[in-house]
Amino acid sequence: MKIILAQQNYHIGNFESNTQKIIEAIEEGKKQQADLMVFSELCICGYPPHDFLEYNDFIEKCNESISIIRSHTQGIGVLVGCPSVNEKKEGKNLFNSSYLLYNNEVVDVVHKTLLPTYDVFDEYRYFEPAYTWHTMVFKGKKLAVTICEDIWNLGDNPLYRICPMDELIRDLPDVMINLSASPFDYTRIEERKSIIQANVEKYKIPMIYCNTVGSQTDIIFDGGSLVFDKHANLLKEGKYFEEDMITVNFLDDGTFEEIILASSEDISSVAWNPSVYDQHLHTDRIYDAIVLGVKDYFSKMGFKHAIVGSSGGIDSAVTLAIACDALGKENVHALLLPSQFSTGHSVDDAVALSKNLGNPCDLIAIKPVFDAFMEQLKPIYKDLPFNLAEENIQARTRGNLLMAVANKFGYILLNTTNKSECAIGYGTLYGDMAGGISVLGDVYKMQVYALANHINRHGEIIPQHIIDKAPSAELRPNQKDSDSLPDYSVLDAILYQYIERRHGAKEMVALGFNKSIAEQTIRLVHLSEYKRNQFCPIIRVSPKAFGMGRRVPIVAQYPS
């Protein structure tokens, strides 16, 4: 049996595009004389559709797409993911399902059992879990078809009380097939391979795993579809961060006619140790993920041009370089907005960066606008000393000018705030926190430096002076971030322990961190929650990003 996995990039709710993409893959499968095509979870509507699932018209369009695709399955089997209606009228109205289409008919449908409701997932809000299990029979083979989370309930402390494969294995299936929409984070590739390996070792049959690819606002899907034989050898691995088609021949004896890529003992050799903070952790993956996130955000929203506030600092430099890579240098406008406190080298660095990248740039000095604000505020401010209020006026002046240019020419403003700043509130609402999407909001400051070095790996794009100089917002004379913050290498390590590892100050002290700095940092994280709730979507690359995946109260006294 020749099986082709179609790893594709879908657009949520764009039924015409998704359906056409699936049909084109089926037609290619026919040319290659494939017996079975495997697509990913909820490929018909795109994942995650969220509250679109509550609209009857959305479900009707899903069904219409199934009918259209079904008409193209003469002589070829097709597994696609789609919502299906719960006809029993008990529990939720929908199932998250996999359809087997063949010879213009719906041959079988199976439903997802394990519905994740944690981090970025909220599937039990919409779907009813499966309550019966059976293998699909196709061309004499028994297929144990599962959907994404269904294969993840292994280990000593399982999250769910049931494991679908424990039920399906009773039918003595020939192969496991998993339709997935598994989001990217920089730990996920090794973890994903490990969990599939564990399934194969437990059930002693091969597994075919088809993952989706592409960005859906804040969530990145990295692809990397996989094929394992019954001995847990990795036979095929799809491309990462791009579409791919993977072909395997499944033989009658339950083996694949393919060359082994890696032995099972090699699969977890690069496993990430989550107890350690590593600023250079999988930098290339993070970079590729963010580029895809920016590219898909613009293409799927119908945008073309971006604008970036280029300060001569490391964050805006990395953001600008990523944007040029994702959108094309001609489509990214840099706006330099020096204040009276900006150094000459900051302007020079920003100009040099745009020259290296080849993107258009302009300069608007903000001092005249700031002076006008101060003149109008003088009757109220009187002779009060310069403080944070005046700093924020400068930041908001920059934000207003960036948005003015964006609105006039139809640009989308890319936010340059990093995760360290976002965590502790080191940013100005409606100023440097403005933007349509946050490019670096899930990347700690030290990781930003690693990204800069990655960008420069083949030659200097980001001027070395930008990388070497001390970070500064340049909103008061001789200002440096270190005036009010711990060194970023210390700050990032504390933030990582608190946000990703969920360790409190006591646990951090046991790990050797300074108690006062840890407690102060945690306090700043909580005080800044109101800011993050007004922030733009953040491209997610870590196991715990701000946004939907981390929900804490704004008004709360924990920790005390």
Tens of pLDDT, residue by residue, the chain (560 residues): 999 999 999 999 999 999 999 999 999 999 999 999 999 999 999 999 999 999 999 999 999 999 999 999 999 999 999 999 999 878 999 999 999 999 999 999 999 999 999 999 999 999 999 999 999 999 999 999 999 999 999 988 899 999 999 999 999 999 999 999 999 999 999 999 999 999 999 999 999 999 999 999 999 999 999 999 999 999 999 999 999 999 999 988 888 885 556 544 444 333 334 344 444 459 999 999 999 999 999 999 999 999 999 999 999 999 999 999 999 999 999 999 998 887 778 899 999 999 999 999 999 999 999 999 999 999 999 999 999 999 999 999 999 999 999 999 999 999 999 999 999 999 999 999 999 999 999 999 999 999 999 999 999 999 999 999 988 767 667 777 777 788 999 999 999 999 999 999 999 999 999 999 999 999 999 999 999 999 999 999 999 999 999 999 999 988 76
Output the six-digit token pair for 100. 């087997």
Cα–Cα distance between 555 and 530 in angstroms, integer?
8
Q: Is 148 annotated in the active site?
A: yes
Annotated active-site residue in 21, 112, 445, 531: 112
Residue 350 has a pLDDT of 96
What's 186's DSSP letter?
A: T
Active site residue 43: no
d(CA 389, CA 370): 12
β-bridge partners, 250: 256
pLDDT for residue 276: 41
Q: What is the pLDDT of residue 261?
A: 60
- Rounded distance between C-alpha atoms, residue 297 and residue 283, angstroms: 21
Q: In degrees, to the nearest 5, what angle opens at C-alpha 203 toward C-alphas 199 and 209?
A: 45
Q: Are 82 and 62 in contact (CB under 8 A)?
A: yes
List 45, 62, 82, 148, catalytic entry: 148
Cα distance between residue 496 and residue 492, in whole Å: 6
Please state the length of the chain: 560
pTM: predicted TM-score of the whole model, two decimal places: 0.94
Long-range Cβ pairs for the range 495-501 (8 Å, 24+): 495/419, 495/420, 495/423, 495/424, 495/444, 495/521, 495/525, 496/277, 496/444, 497/277, 498/522, 498/525, 499/423, 499/525, 499/544, 499/550, 500/274, 500/542, 500/543, 500/544, 501/274, 501/275
Distance CA 363, CA 349 (A): 13
State the fold for domain 2-266. Answer: Nitrilase/N-carbamoyl-D-aminoacid amidohydrolase (3.60.110)
Pick from 271, 275, 187: nearest CA to 507 = 275
pLDDT at 275: 41
Contacts of 244 (CB under 8 A, 6+ apart): 7, 213, 223, 225, 238
Where does CATH 3.40.50.620 sit in the chain?
283-481
Looking at the chain, the domain(s) classified CATH 3.60.110.10 span: 2-266
CATH of 283-481, one of 3.10.110.10, 3.40.50.620, 3.40.50.300, 2.40.50.140: 3.40.50.620
